[in-house]
Structure 1
Amino acid sequence: MSNEPLQLDRKKIIDENFIRRVREKDFPKAKSSAELLGCQLSKDLWVDLFESQLLSRQLDFIARDLKESNQSFYTIGSSGHEGNAVLGHYFSLQDTAFLHYRSGAFMVQRSKKDPQNNFIRDCLLSLMASEKDPISAGRHKIWGSVALNIPPQTSTIASHLPKALGYAYSTILDRGRHLDEVKTPVVICSFGDASFNHSTSQGAFNGAQYLAYCNVPLPLIFVCEDNGIGISVPTPGNWIEDNVKGRTHLHYVVADGLNMADVYRACAEAEHFARAKQQPVFMHLKTVRLMGHAGSDIESVYRRREDILLTEADDPLLHSARLLIEAGYLTTQEILHRYQRIHDEVGLEAKALVGQKSLDSVAAIKQSLYQTERDTVPPSLPSENIREKCFAGAYKNITSKRTLAQQINSALTDLMLQYDSIVVYGEDVGVKGGVYHVTADLQKRFGQGRVIDSFLDETSLLGMAIGMGMQKRIPIPEIQFLAYTHNAIDQLRGEAATLSFFSNGQYQNPMVIRIASLAYQKGFGGHFHNENAIAFLREIPGIIVACPSNGSDAAKMLRRCVEQAHCYGRVVVFLEPIALYSAKDLHSPGDGLWLGDYPDPDEKVALNEVGLFGEGEDLLIISYGNGYYLSRQAEQILKNEHGVACTVMDLRWLAPLAMDAILKVAANFEKVLIVDECRKTGSISEELYTRLIEESERSISIKRLTAEDCFITLGKSWQHLLPSREAIVREALGLI
């Protein structure tokens, strides 16, 4: 081969090579024996699929052309992956597709199932970040469409795989094990070979295998589009095949992704397992990547000239052209005519759309973070007869004063009676009733279909919640300890919280995530079981973070959280202070002051409502969770021993803060003490301090009392790291 340097504009070379090689009938050698005539598809359908491939290619080309004039803002293309057009045809609109970013041909082909769809226009609007983009209103270039049953994905690291697993699981959750093998919808989830290595994808594969091993129906097809390289890092030889082929309870189906006929064969095989047998499938499409990772990626920096040229010579459009000519379906002139016609159509549409307006205000951009107009109303409350029958022997105890854990249990029971879409799941929530027995007897009351013991993997747990929520359920997963959420946070931050935002409010994934949280456990120490960092939750736009300090509040707040999920599609995190689960006494043993009455089933706490105790005017103490409990103890000491009259505020809602209510109360005080059990750096106290200074209409003296910037220790030494009753009294007196 020549040693002259490669021309940087590979788009131009690939375009010219296609035209020249078709004209000369210089086609790449077939990599598989599959032929169009061997499949049960008509000539017209094969030609139609080829035209979808051509259109996908031209859209990749125009994206790069428009980028040069600053009219397009995204150049990751699908060139080399056009074989996925066959999947777009083979699987129907009932089959939900979670697609990665090289799925242009799939999108083109599926769009033809909707007569109202103008795919060229829609794709260009997305490339141009136009406010008229029908899926995201220009917030991001993503593949997605409500009409085409393709929820939008922004993942580049396979973080959409767990929710595809959850979606497939939810599809069959209440349909039993005898699904119609023709009508059963399957779930398609595509990703690249580089993303295959991500721990998130491996967790999803493991989850699918686990469920299948347990004989749970799972109509799910993982589609690995293997182009052999992740940006600049090659995927080793047969890594994907050797890694997956021998896995138990995951059917491996491989195909030459450059050959439409072979992809069609693989689709039929995959569908048989997924739809007819309801078993998970790993479909391995061997593709190539053309024009680098994206427009800014110069392949010659890290790939040999010979390798680039060999890859370009294997252009899937040339393989398709060869197949069509061999079958006698098209001539070279007919192929080139279609190529030019589609090129012209895309160019004309792009010219007509140049100058698109993007979202141009903060309000417009943030509008889709979450719904403000409710979709529906809460279901009717259950009758007393139904409640009595469900609670059984526990019904007589409902009116007695109860602990926080007991009241959450009663609230969950009432909510599951009211909302038949609720599914409670997590490790140990079923027979055991949860690590802290908060879900005790729920499985007896509602069965294994609604109270589900899951395998241990928080990433899959949250991913499953997303998939269930998208299926109009209200998932209430339980995470056993707050620290366990850290390794799974991308499912919440990168997936759940972004779905409404990047779909312009067209998709929601409601959920209420219960997490046993915070520190102060006396018999079960260490940092894993006493995590006191929540900044990683509070910084996520659009989600609600709740933290009750007592049983009555917990029941009323949980009801509000479920209502928000049901009516507005909200994502909610419900932090339950472990150390207060069984707390009964406040000031002295046996006083029973931390037990509470179970509120009537229709009672709720508003999102803008804080809790207040006392009417003292000397000092306002603001806290939450364990800090509120300790502040209540300190309040009595300050009053009885020091003559200091305090008001104690329970924040209740940690994100967003009920700032109007906080400011209204704070306006009556000159001195404020913020007691925050989380670490000094990144704690709520930072925002409270700042906003009280910035937004209060009067001068206020403010002091923070927080945990130390340190991990919680074992034994008794943890007491040196966290706010205590005595420290609250000391800081309050210092402020006074």
Structure 2
Amino acid sequence: MDRAEIVDANFRSRVAANDLPAGASPRAGLAAEEAVALYRAQVTSRALDITSRAMQKAGKGFYTIGSSGHEGMAAVAHALRPTDMAFLHYRDAAFQIARADQVPGQQIVWDMLLSFACSAEDPISGGRHKVLGSAALNIPPQTSTIASHLPKAVGAAYSIGAARRLAPEHQRLDPESIVMCSFGDASANHSTAQGAINTAGWTSVQSIPLPLLFVCEDNGIGISTKTPRGWIESSMRARPGIRYFKADGLDIYDTFAVAQEAADYVRRRRKPAFLHLRTVRLYGHAGADVPTTYLSRAEVEGDEANDPLLQSVRLLRDAGALQPAEALAIYDETCARVTRVSGEAVKRPHLKTAAEVMASLVPPKRPCAPTNFPGQEARARVFGSDLAAMKDPQPMSRILNWALTDLMLERPEVVLMGEDVGRKGGVYGVTQKLTARFGPDRMIDTLLDEQSILGLAIGMGHNGFVPLPEIQFLAYLHNAEDQLRGEAATLPFFSQGQFTNPMVVRIAGLGYQKGFGGHFHNDNSLAVLRDIPGLILACPSNGADAAMMLRECVRLAHEEQRLVVFLEPIALYPMRDLLADKDGGWMTTYPEPDRRIPFGEVGVHGAGRELAIVTYANGYYLSRQAEGEIGADTRIIDLRWLAPLPEEALLAALDGVKRVLVVDECRRSGNVSEALMTLLAERTGLPIARVTAEDSFIATGPAYAAPLPSRAGIVAAAKRLLEVK
């Protein structure tokens, strides 16, 4: 027999013999019918684990990371309200089952078996993954995450207080609710978890409302690596700003009492708490994992002897709520029912085509109130003397500042957050004056942690805000890129658009900063962004375009619930001149607030037919400089939108040209030029060439531009291409 069969046989024989483990007496607080209901939820979770393994062996199920040993989470669910958003550890089936008992009309066994079977009728993911999650139960879907959901739980908790002060149009969370996130003891060591816990404490000690309950399910092991005894308690019980609670997760009475105390503390004080639950892990990590290959048989059998279902039967007996024979009958009936229902669930249809799988990559549009363009009087009050300056050409950084101001005037949901965005006004001054104009609630100076910045934005997006998080430099994104790939982008995909976290991530990036910062402040690789399904990547080249594209990006987030990255070329922030000193050729006037550039529209300069240059950002600036030296009838196309590429708009803009030169300021490998060259080869048959950056980091000092495309390099490449007939 495998360990699942052994645990099942042990439970049946020991309950039948009334041979139950010793333990504390039942604590007060649970009525008999409540305790029995929690036991039923625990048994249903166990039956689903058993059935999932049988389904997998039969080739009809596709997930075997079970919840056995963690069934005490049913009592945590009972201590919370269904309006409390829950971001769950993947071993928390019992929590979801117990919460389903709190919400009328649920068919939790059927729904979860559809998920095990990856059926297209699975109500949460539509067959894309076995996930815990439910829109009706206020549980956003999570896959097998390693604590990557904790930063957004912090953000969602923060959003509850923020919404009390300024309610967004699409507010989802009850103002009196709290947020719960659960995770394992091994995951608590991950930098993502540590960052989120630190951020929660950092926020709490400043008396900023953060109603968040961390629940650590401590079974003492992560796959095969043991957690040192006492590690979680010693490392977590004295965290500043976070109240520590501890309970025996094998005891539903104790778990409920302590979880209720912790939840009441969080709800009343609007401060975070850490609930440390003792659990055991039964069966090993997942289906193929054999725990006796890395644990002694005595250790494995010791955990099995502490089976929480056995503990529950004893506690129910001692409380006079249920006799062991009755408990065994419930177990038998539940296992039989789950097996019977699974036989129907495996017959339900599955996803078959790429289009079906991809149908939820893009979230649904949502109805929104009309844009509230402020009148001139309101704008004058906010802009002050800047209003008069809008008549004159300005560099990109100042125009972006004005665009942000207008967007925050138009849409109260728009909130900016990031390191130094508030009082300082950003490293390059793009967000200057915005705190004075809109206050610290909408201009949030964060701690220095990119995972927490993006997590704050994701969580606030859950609650109807339109967050504009700022990452100071593109290279800094790599510390936190999984928050976009593994969390933000996958949420609509795994929930069929039932949960969304729209936002516009502002990132200062690309190269050409003269001698400043080297590779850490001049990062010219977009591969990690262009590789995320569903993400929109926008990149302007001049001030007017930047304002109009940013407005479109915010519209995409607000109305279409999209995840957008707005990449701002640092070197073009202050750019004034184009061809000669003080010619002012790269400055633009500020476009009226209702003007925007639609998603996918490219920019076209000139109507030449001999040569078209396809480029973006600094490449567009350099190509405009090179234009006069090329000596041919030239057309320059500014892509603007880098993911997904505006293929049809680009091909239309190339109509009638004879040759195409791609100028890509990013590295030769893994960036935009590769996709462009492929598109042009497949769809045009024209002579093509490209100028790119070298596959190198950028140096500090005079050699900063050596690996990057140059005006002279563009001219030389264009002339070579013009020789091709």
Quote how far apart the aligned CAs of 1:213 are: 1.4
Query: Structure 2 CA distance, aligned partners of 1:668 and 1:683?
Result: 27
Match of 1:3 in 2: none
| Residues 1:219 and 2:211 aligned together | yes
Match of 2:345 in 1: 353
Quote how far apart the aligned CAs of 1:671 are: 1.1
Larger deviation, residues 158-167 vs 304-313: 304-313
Residue identity in the other structure for 2:686: I
Q: Which string of whole-angstrom CA distances, capped at 9 and with x for unpartnered residues, describes residues 664-715 of structure 1?
A: 222422211111100001110000000111122xx21111110011100011
Q: Which string of whole-angstrom CA distances, capped at 9 and with x for unpartnered residues, describes residues 218-239 of structure 1?
A: 1101100011111111111111
Query: Structure 2 CA distance, aligned partners of 1:221 and 1:92?
Result: 13
Q: Which string of whole-angstrom CA distances, capped at 9 and with x for unpartnered residues, describes residues 91-129 of structure 1?
A: 011111000110011111000112211000000000000
| Residues 1:436 and 2:428 aligned together | yes
Match of 1:688 in 2: 676
Match of 2:716 in 1: 730
Residue identity in the other structure for 1:318: L
| Residues 1:116 and 2:91 aligned together | no
Match of 1:527, SS state, is: helix
Query: Structure 2 CA distance, aligned partners of 1:319 and 1:176?
Result: 46
Contact 2:515–2:703 (CA under 8 A) maintained in structure 1: no
Residue identity in the other structure for 1:74: Y
Residue identity in the other structure for 2:80: F
Quote how far apart the aligned CAs of 1:372 are: 5.2
Quote how far apart the aligned CAs of 1:374 are: 4.2
Which of residues 251, 259, 267 is equivalent to 2:251? 259
Query: Structure 2 CA distance, aligned partners of 1:254 and 1:248?
Result: 17
Which of residues 719, 723, 729 is equivalent to 2:705? 719
Match of 2:276, SS state, is: strand
Quote how far apart the aligned CAs of 1:184 are: 2.2
Contact 1:83–1:259 (CA under 8 A) maintained in structure 2: yes
Taking a change above 3 Å as real, the CA distance of residues 421 and 373 of structure 1, as seen in their structure-2 partners, is closer
Counting only pairs closer than 5 Å after superposition, residues 91-106 of structure 1 correspond to structure 2 as 91-106=80-95
Contact 1:465–1:476 (CA under 8 A) maintained in structure 2: yes
Larger deviation, residues 245-254 vs 45-54: 245-254
Quote how far apart the aligned CAs of 1:191 are: 0.4
Residue identity in the other structure for 2:278: K
| Residues 1:63 and 2:52 aligned together | yes
Query: Structure 2 CA distance, aligned partners of 1:443 and 1:647?
Result: 42
Residue identity in the other structure for 1:679: R
| Residues 1:20 and 2:13 aligned together | yes
Match of 1:407 in 2: 399
Taking a change above 3 Å as real, the CA distance of residues 676 and 378 of structure 1, as seen in their structure-2 partners, is farther
Query: Structure 2 CA distance, aligned partners of 1:734 and 1:148?
Result: 63
Residue identity in the other structure for 1:274: V
Query: Structure 1 CA distance, aligned partners of 2:455 and 2:34?
Result: 36
Contact 1:71–1:355 (CA under 8 A) maintained in structure 2: no
Query: Structure 1 CA distance, aligned partners of 2:327 and 2:649?
Result: 68
Structure 1 residue runs of 4+, over 4 Å off?
Answer: none
Query: Structure 2 CA distance, aligned partners of 1:550 and 1:430?
Result: 24
Quote how far apart the aligned CAs of 1:636 are: 1.8
Match of 2:656, SS state, is: coil
Match of 1:517 in 2: 509
Query: Structure 1 CA distance, aligned partners of 2:30 and 2:232?
Result: 30
| Residues 1:663 and 2:663 aligned together | no
Match of 1:648, SS state, is: strand
Query: Structure 1 CA distance, aligned partners of 2:633 and 2:55?
Result: 67
Contact 2:82–2:103 (CA under 8 A) maintained in structure 1: no
Query: Structure 2 CA distance, aligned partners of 1:367 and 1:439?
Result: 37
Query: Structure 2 CA distance, aligned partners of 1:298 and 1:89?
Result: 33
Which of residues 58, 63, 68 is equivalent to 1:74? 63
Larger deviation, residues 300-309 vs 156-165: 300-309
Contact 2:131–2:142 (CA under 8 A) maintained in structure 1: yes
Query: Structure 2 CA distance, aligned partners of 1:628 and 1:477?
Result: 26
Match of 2:486 in 1: 494
Query: Structure 2 CA distance, aligned partners of 1:663 and 1:167?
Result: 42
| TM-score, normalising length: structure 1 | 0.96
Match of 1:4 in 2: none
Match of 2:555, SS state, is: helix
Which of residues 647, 669, 674 is equivalent to 2:635? 647
Residue identity in the other structure for 1:27: L
Taking a change above 3 Å as real, the CA distance of residues 544 and 378 of structure 1, as seen in their structure-2 partners, is farther
Query: Structure 2 CA distance, aligned partners of 1:186 and 1:26?
Result: 40
Match of 2:230 in 1: 238
Query: Structure 2 CA distance, aligned partners of 1:359 and 1:23?
Result: 44
Which of residues 513, 530, 536 is equivalent to 2:528? 536
Match of 2:308 in 1: 316
Query: Structure 1 CA distance, aligned partners of 2:102 and 2:260?
Result: 19
Residue identity in the other structure for 1:692: L
Residue identity in the other structure for 1:56: S
Count of matched residue positions in the alignment of Structure 1 and Structure 2: 715
Counting only pairs closer than 5 Å after superposition, residues 528-607 of structure 1 correspond to structure 2 as 528-607=520-599
Contact 2:262–2:273 (CA under 8 A) maintained in structure 1: yes
Contact 1:152–1:503 (CA under 8 A) maintained in structure 2: yes
Contact 2:218–2:277 (CA under 8 A) maintained in structure 1: yes
Match of 2:169 in 1: none
Contact 2:30–2:253 (CA under 8 A) maintained in structure 1: no
| Residues 1:707 and 2:696 aligned together | no
Match of 1:152, SS state, is: strand
Contact 1:253–1:283 (CA under 8 A) maintained in structure 2: yes
Match of 2:592, SS state, is: coil
Which of residues 447, 450, 471 is equivalent to 1:458? 450
Contact 2:364–2:497 (CA under 8 A) maintained in structure 1: no
| Residues 1:387 and 2:379 aligned together | yes
Match of 1:356, SS state, is: coil
Query: Structure 1 CA distance, aligned partners of 2:368 and 2:261?
Result: 41
Contact 1:27–1:322 (CA under 8 A) maintained in structure 2: yes
Match of 1:280 in 2: 272
Structure 1: 5+ residue stretches without partners: 1-6
Query: Structure 2 CA distance, aligned partners of 1:73 and 1:271?
Result: 35
Quote how far apart the aligned CAs of 1:172 are: 0.5
| Residues 1:298 and 2:285 aligned together | no
Structure 2: 5+ residue stretches without partners: 167-173
* Identity, % of aligned positions: 50
Query: Structure 1 CA distance, aligned partners of 2:578 and 2:644?
Result: 28
Query: Structure 2 CA distance, aligned partners of 1:691 and 1:377?
Result: 39
Quote how far apart the aligned CAs of 1:269 are: 2.3
Query: Structure 2 CA distance, aligned partners of 1:535 and 1:200?
Result: 22
Residue identity in the other structure for 1:128: A
Contact 2:182–2:217 (CA under 8 A) maintained in structure 1: yes
Query: Structure 1 CA distance, aligned partners of 2:656 and 2:371?
Result: 40
Quote how far apart the aligned CAs of 1:176 are: 5.3
Contact 1:73–1:129 (CA under 8 A) maintained in structure 2: yes
